[in-house]
Amino acid sequence: MPRLNVIVASTRPGRVGRRIGDWFTAAAVRHGGFDEVRLVDLAEVGLPFHDEPHHPSEGNYLHPHTREWSATTAAADAFVFVMPEYNYGFSAPLKNAIDYLYHEWQHKPVGFVSYGMTSGGLRAVQMIKQVVTTLNMMPVNEAVTVFLRQALDEAGELRPDPGREAAADQLLDRLARLAVALAPLRAVPA
């Protein structure tokens, strides 16, 4: 069975992204379609602004943080980006994390759990799809959209939502199927 990395894209102090990432990671484990589900929090990964002197397609990484990020990303067969929308776009830490690598993203499906106030992060998802398809990733149409005003209780915790749970299952179904279907492409050296 494939392995899934759930990547929390916000690094802001006080962010809600980690709570959403924890919820989705638990949903992915319950789903059972992945052999391994790993939560990867970009705030904990702590990548500096892209500081490698060589082009990522060369795979010649000089810094330990890049080699560790490469190993974490290469080990996954599928990804879910838990991502906010900032000013109609995706977060700079997510773009930075993507740009560090090249081959490690190739021929892997990616899903989106987006969140925000007005649009639920949908505009950011549309923007990031251009980035991931350039890396030969396969974005899935199934998604989880979290409208924060309705989703959070007074304490800032996620309210139970059967619709959100169903959307997560649909996203995970599609990701698991595509991770297996794309595996032969990942087996061929680029």
Whether the per-residue pLDDT at 189 is higher than 80: the answer is: no
Whether the per-residue pLDDT at 9 is higher than 70: the answer is: yes
Whether the per-residue pLDDT at 79 is higher than 90: the answer is: yes
Q: What is the pLDDT of residue 32?
A: 97
pLDDT category of residue 1 using cuts at 50, 70 and 90: confident
All structural domains of the chain with their residue ranges:
3-187
The pLDDT > 70 percentage for the chain reads 99
Whether the per-residue pLDDT at 26 is higher than 90: the answer is: yes
Whether the per-residue pLDDT at 188 is higher than 80: the answer is: no
Q: Could you report the per-residue pLDDT of 89-129, keeping only the tens digit for each?
A: 999 999 999 999 999 999 999 999 999 998 999 999 999 99
Strands 3-8 and 36-41: parallel
State the average pLDDT over residues 40-63: 96
What does residue 9 show for φ and ψ, rounded to 5 degrees? -90, -15
Whether the per-residue pLDDT at 190 is higher than 70: the answer is: no
State the average pLDDT over residues 140-152: 96
Task: Please provide the DSSP assignment of 56-118 as one string.
Answer: GGG----SHHHHHHHHHHHT-SEEEEEEE-BTTB--HHHHHHHHT-SGGGTT-EEEEEEEESS
Is it true that domain 3-187 has CATH number 3.40.190.10? no
Task: Please provide the DSSP assignment of 41-69 as one string.
Answer: EHHHH-PPS---SS-GGG----SHHHHHH
What does residue 86 show for φ and ψ, rounded to 5 degrees? -115, 115
pLDDT category of residue 46 using cuts at 50, 70 and 90: very high
Q: What is the pLDDT of residue 49?
A: 95
This prediction's pTM: 0.97
